[in-house]
Structure 1
Amino acid sequence: MSNHDSTSAHLERKVNKRVEWLDLARGATIILVVFLHSSHTASVIGPINETVRWLNTNLLLDLRMPLFFFCSGVLGYWGLRKPWRTVAVSRFRVLIWIIFAWTLISFGLERLIDLYPQYDGLHHWSRLFWDPISNLWFVYAILIISLIIRLVSSFRRRHQVSIVAGINIGLMILVQFGPTVIANSFVQQLPDYALLSFFTGYLFAPNVVSSLERLRNAFVSFGIGVTCWFAVNLIDTLIATTNVNLIRFIYSIPMIFMALGLARLICEWTWGANKLSWLGKRTLEVFLFHQIFIAVGFAMLVELGITSGTLALFFISGFALCGSILAERITKYLGLSILFQPPAIQGWARKFSLQLKSHEAR
């Protein structure tokens, strides 16, 4: 076995055991996602403080989802390089099931509660599955990106880069000049930051994991991230008058470096960092549950007559986050894994067959 293979195998075992600072970054990101979605609903209740609104929609815009996709790419590196059958069973089947189950759940809940107070109207049945119900676009994106990455994973690295870059450019052209229905769909997020962020995390996963294990590199990563972030924003300010917009992926690169370096440093020194890491292991469950609790929190505040958007934002986001964590714990305790994992049809069929044979033997 070569040194590269040995190092890769060691890192794979480490990732399978979970890298605490990577989970911490994911945990922090899901909190920011919940906060953003809560702000959309809170703005219906009343105006949100300008500083809070700016931090939420401007400063953190280039960090939230790009970092989420980047971390997903790092964690998906070893899994997506496995045989097609393994990837299909362990990843594609699970994502397709989540899309199917939670589309039906969301479609039903829309008719029972005001699930998305910031939007008018309900999701029509004719748009089911091909048009994601709001937040589910993320699961669609992960499925499509995972399929693309698996298709190119057997090529040399430079060919992978060329193919993914070509796909991203093609998607940008499609969004810009294609039908309006595509430009207004989740597809616009793919070339903007999702595909490139995930692919970059996938491409450099071994380097990222091994490098940031060294504390010195975490300091360097954080410092470079802060410096580059200021530089990128300065460049954008200078070219703003030319109507040339840098895609969000370019903005997100220094933010990702900064966030991962900071996450590594926090894991080294901060008491209680394991709580955020714990949350990072459950980002999918929190992501799926949080909109339900946002809607419930909104209904509670309307009933109480609250008119402050800022107060509503902090209450709804806290309520949604805590409610989602509690829901994840309850569903696990009750054994409701079917919400996140497809039913084991083969296991049921085998068990039924054995019971039938036992009954016939009698």
Structure 2
Amino acid sequence: MVGVANQTRVDWVDGAKGIAILLVALAHAVQWTVLSGLAPELWNKINLVFIVFRMPLFFLASGLFAASVITRTWPTLWRTRLSLLVWALLVWTVIRFGYFSLLPNPAGFDETNPIDLLLAPVRPSNGLWFLYALALFFVAAKLMRGRIDWRVQIGGAAVLSVLFFARADTGNIAWNGIGRYFVFFLLGCYLREWIIAFVNRPSRFGALGLGLGFGAAFLALAGVILTVDARVPFITGTLVLVSLLALGAGLLVARFLVDSRAMGWLAYVGRNTLPIYVGHVLFVSALTSLLLLYRGEAWLDRLGPVLPVLVAGGAVAASLLFWRLVRDLPVLRYGFIVPTWFAGRAPGVTSAGQAEPAERMRPRSE
């Protein structure tokens, strides 16, 4: 990372990832607290509105620095990117299986099926599917590089996205997500310079038009969802267009927020999404179970309308605290770093048992 300009780029991309992971945590907090009867049903509809923003932003931000990564040799790609994604998926799938086998899930989701556990490497069935999808996106992008024109890649992925946002359904959360969101990863990968230039120096006219367009589309989508009981977002391909508008607006907002002193912490959150992503659901579940002990209390009823926000914030903070406490401890640290025997050694590294920190292995500016 060289120069102030490059640092600014990284900061707002990290800020965008920070916004995305906070919305992911909020989505799970909504699921747990609404299904447990602690928060109002309205939150489920608010959750649907953000489908155009959460994961598209996450995958676009991941794709922004993928162009240089997919030029690496397969062994280097495995060691520096894929191994951590695969390792974290496997380890935390087992951890979640053990956790929910011991402690009942207050939201009623079942993650204790041993068949699902065995099939996790090819068919993830829990919230860790993002790691699986991102690994496949890197592999697919590398396989297509130099073989299929990038415009054809994006066009094909866009068609796939429209189909999966509309009616296509594989019956699996991971494969549905792959169909919906691959286009956003490719957009970040191949339009990186254009996106960076636009966000770093947005024209007033372009920013105003984007903001107004996104605002109108977002309000229209919210109005439909909040007034209709059916899951309308899943029967229309227009969500892809709304997502593109949302991404542009979200990146500009991330740049503005990260540049402000009060919101600088967003970049820190975005730089450390892995410990939040893999751990926050366990804390959301634990906090929901704890709150259920006080069901019927007046103070809890008063907190109901904002409870998902509080639970999500608590889960994110707890995830980061847990990571900081165990990241240097034997055995426990391997929840967040990949051991050398699994990742493979870099040229010139001969000592056994070393592991590369997760911070160094996440997508970054290179």
**Deviation per residue, 1:307-332 (Å, 9 max, x gap):** 64435323321221110111121122
| SS of alignment partner, residue 183 of structure 1 | coil
**Residues 290 and 324 of structure 1 are in contact (CA less than 8 Å); yes or no, is this contact kept in structure 2?**
yes
1:6 aligns with none
Aligned residue for 1:140, secondary structure, equals: helix
1:118 to 107, 131, 145: 107
Q: What is the CA–CA distance in structure 2 between the aligned matches of 1:253 and 1:174, rounded to whole Å?
A: 16
1:1-362 alignment to 2 at 5 Å? 14=6, 19-46=10-37, 48-49=39-40, 53-58=44-49, 60-114=50-104, 116-128=105-117, 129=120, 130-155=122-147, 159-166=149-156, 169=159, 182-192=170-180, 194-214=181-201, 216-217=202-203, 219-220=204-205, 222-230=207-215, 232=217, 245-268=236-259, 270-305=260-295, 308=301, 309-334=304-329, 336-345=332-341, 350-351=350-351
Q: Do the aligned residues in 2 keep the contact of 1:137 with 1:186 (CA within 8 Å)?
A: yes
> Structure 2 CA distance, aligned partners of 1:352 and 1:92?
20
* Change in 2 beyond 3 A, CA 1:20/1:191: same
Query: Residues 172 and 287 of structure 1: is their aligned pair in 2 closer, same or farther, counting only changes over 3 Å?
Result: same
Letter matched to residue 188 of structure 2: G
- Report Cα offsets for 1:79-121 as digits up to 9, x if no partner: 222222211221122211112111111111111113x432344
Structure 1 unaligned residues grouped into runs of 5+: 1-8, 354-362
Alpha-carbon contact 1:196-1:249 (below 8 Å) kept:
no
Cα offset for 1:294? 0.5
The letter of the residue matching 1:303 is L
Amino acid at match of 2:123: D
- Report the alpha carbon displacement of residue 267 of structure 1 after superposing the two structures with TM: 3.0
Report which of the two structures shows the higher radius of gyration computed on alpha carbons.
1
Whole-angstrom distance in 2 between the partners of 1:229 and 1:311: 25
Distance 1:280 1:111, change over 3 A: same
Using the alignment, how far apart are the partners of 1:63 and 1:258 within structure 2?
A: 10
Q: Using the alignment, how far apart are the partners of 2:136 and 2:38 within structure 1? A: 37
Q: CA deviation at 1:170?
A: 6.1
Matched-pair contact (CA < 8 Å) for 2:18–2:271? yes
Question: Is the contact between residue 53 and residue 247 of structure 2 (CA under 8 Å) also seen in structure 1?
Answer: yes
Deviations 1:181-240 (A, max 9, x none): x23432112222x101111111111222233223x44x55542322222454699899x9
CA pair 305-235 structure 1, distance change in 2 beyond 3 A? closer
Task: Name the Cα RMSD after superposition.
Answer: 3.5
Q: Which runs of 5+ in 2 are unaligned?
A: 354-366
What is aligned with 2:362? Answer: none
Cα distance in 1, alignment partners of residues 198 and 164 from structure 2:
37
Q: Relative to structure 1, is the Cα distance of residues 312 and 170 closer, same or farther in structure 2, using a 3 angstrom cutoff?
A: closer
The answer to whether the 8 A contact 2:13-2:61 is kept is: yes
**Structure 2: how far apart are the matches of 1:30 and 1:68?**
8
Distance 2:258 2:292 in 1: 39
Give the superposition deviation at 1:163. Answer: 3.6
* Residue-pair matches, total: 330
Name the structure where helix makes up a greater proportion of residues. 1
